């Protein structure tokens, strides 16, 4: 009886662990806009509270009028990700949109724009950087070839080469119903992926 109980408990524990691992997986479709930040999964729609639970802070306070959006690039920071030598946080840039009719705090509004970056400036890498994982395992340092293998080629006008600064930007876009999604990946020729921009917002067809 004891042996049977132990076997059942072992099976239960393994099933639970497998379930946890399954929950931590992110979609293989980039347009689902799922990602892992420092090992934590985030899924659209995004709100500040999802990030604040994991130590991210936003010092700004602002009531956003109904139906309006910001394009200020507010900075979220986390004490875990601070480069003491350069005296700089490894920040995430965010902007908000208020889909309601009444004004409310930006911290309660949808996040329509996210920008993750592992550099302070072009050619100046930060230390103690948060890890990021995108669909199909793309992460910091992934090459253009690896990204294209994962997501496919972009149209010629969506591949922007900045030769003088040694990087290329790939712009992936998709519209599903009234939802527009865009992912821009900035890739060093020598060094791989260094910045990721997400945009997700509603579009309204012209009447």
DSSP string computed for 128-157:
SPPPEE-GGG-BTT--HHHHHHHH-PPPGG
CA atoms of 137 and 92, how far apart (whole Å): 20
Residue 94 falls within a domain, yes or no? yes
Residue 107 falls within a domain, yes or no? yes
Express each pLDDT in 118-163 by its tens digit: 999 988 999 999 999 999 999 999 999 999 999 999 999 999 999 9
Query: Using omega within 30 degrees of 0 as the cis cutoff, is the peptide bond preceding 29 cis?
Result: no
pLDDT 10s digit of each residue in the chain, 207 long?
545 444 444 545 544 444 434 458 999 999 999 999 999 999 999 999 999 999 999 999 999 999 999 999 999 999 999 999 999 999 999 999 999 999 999 999 999 999 999 999 988 999 999 999 999 999 999 999 999 999 999 999 999 999 999 999 999 999 999 999 999 999 999 999 999 999 999 997 544
Retrieve residue 181's tokens: 């999604």
CA atoms of 183 and 137, how far apart (whole Å): 15
Residues 6+ apart with CB under 8 A from 29: 135
Q: Are 33 and 50 in contact (CB under 8 A)?
A: no
Residue 100 falls within a domain, yes or no? yes
Residue 61 falls within a domain, yes or no? yes
Instruction: Name the domain count of the chain.
Output: 1
Express each pLDDT in 122-131 by its tens digit: 889 999 999 9
Domain carrying residue 12? 2-202
Express each pLDDT in 4-15 by its tens digit: 444 444 545 544
CA atoms of 155 and 45, how far apart (whole Å): 27
The SS3 of residue 149 is: helix
With 0-12 / 13-18 / 19 or more C-beta atoms within 10 angstroms meaning exposed / middle / buried, residue 190 is: exposed
Q: Are 113 and 94 in contact (CB under 8 A)?
A: yes
Residue 119 falls within a domain, yes or no? yes
Residue 207 falls within a domain, yes or no? no
Residue 108 falls within a domain, yes or no? yes
Give the global pTM.
0.88
CA atoms of 131 and 140, how far apart (whole Å): 7
């Amino acid at each position: 009886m004891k042996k049977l109980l132990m076997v059942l408990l072992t099976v239960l524990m393994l099933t639970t662990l497998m379930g946890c691992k399954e929950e931590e997986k992110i979609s293989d479709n980039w347009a689902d806009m799922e990602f892992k930040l420092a090992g934590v999964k985030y899924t659209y729609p995004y709100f500040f509270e999802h990030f604040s639970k994991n130590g991210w802070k936003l010092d700004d306070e602002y009531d956003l009028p109904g139906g309006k959006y910001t394009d200020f690039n507010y900075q979220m920071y986390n004490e875990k990700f601070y480069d003491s030598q350069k005296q700089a946080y490894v920040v995430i840039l965010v902007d908000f949109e208020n889909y309601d009719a009444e004004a409310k705090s930006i911290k309660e509004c949808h996040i329509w724009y996210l920008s993750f970056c592992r550099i302070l400036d072009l050619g100046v890498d930060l230390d103690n950087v948060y890890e990021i994982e995108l669909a199909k395992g793309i992460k910091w340092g992934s090459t253009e070839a690896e990204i294209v293998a994962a997501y496919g080629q972009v149209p010629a006008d969506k591949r922007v080469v900045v030769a003088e600064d040694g990087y290329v930007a790939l712009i992936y876009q998709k519209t599903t119903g009234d939802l527009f999604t865009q992912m821009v990946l900035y890739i060093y020729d020598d060094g791989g992926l260094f910045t990721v921009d997400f945009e997700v917002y509603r579009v309204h067809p012209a009447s």
